[in-house]
Structure 1
Amino acid sequence: MELTEGNLVRRMRLLAGYTQQQMADLMGFSSKSTISRIENDKIALTLRDAKKWALKTDNQDMLIAFITGTQQVADMVTSVPGLVGFLSPLFRLFV
């Protein structure tokens, strides 16, 4: 199965132990159907909402890996100083 934005955010939500209704409440969405539509790739998250989703689920690392591409991150892991230098600007998005 291809890793889509919807699949990613569903994984993030499930890892955090939230139901769709709980996630809707945390995100400030009107209903759990919005969460379902996001997770089924019917609507896309804005960058602001993606950041909020990552913070609420405490899964910033998964979002960063998805944004940068898993192969690129895997290549950088071989060099810790390289990884830190590469990810430092991205962490500023979440602070």
Structure 2
Amino acid sequence: MSANATIKTAFETVQSLVELQTSTISQSIELQKKNGEELAAFFKANADKAQKLKSPQDLVAFNLDSSKALFEMIKAQGEAFSGLATQAREAATADISKLVK
């Protein structure tokens, strides 16, 4: 491979990586926005439900259900970020491997 072709390939790879970073950051920001909206809606709904509780037993049951739902939501949000990171890593690895070949 000629030096010009090597430089061109390196430049294209760097350009692709920058585009990947930009895309990943944009997707991450959108995920953060979505997660914030989900959390706000969750807490608003729980505040509304909490006002209707009548007994200490209702409060305990509500608290357990609410905590479980919150942790499941946070788990799903974490998995979404992990998926995004994995996707970005795989794409970056594929771009970089073009340079090595």
- TM-score computed with the length of structure 1 as normaliser: 0.28
The structure with the larger Rg is 2
- TM-score computed with the length of structure 2 as normaliser: 0.27
More helix by share: 2
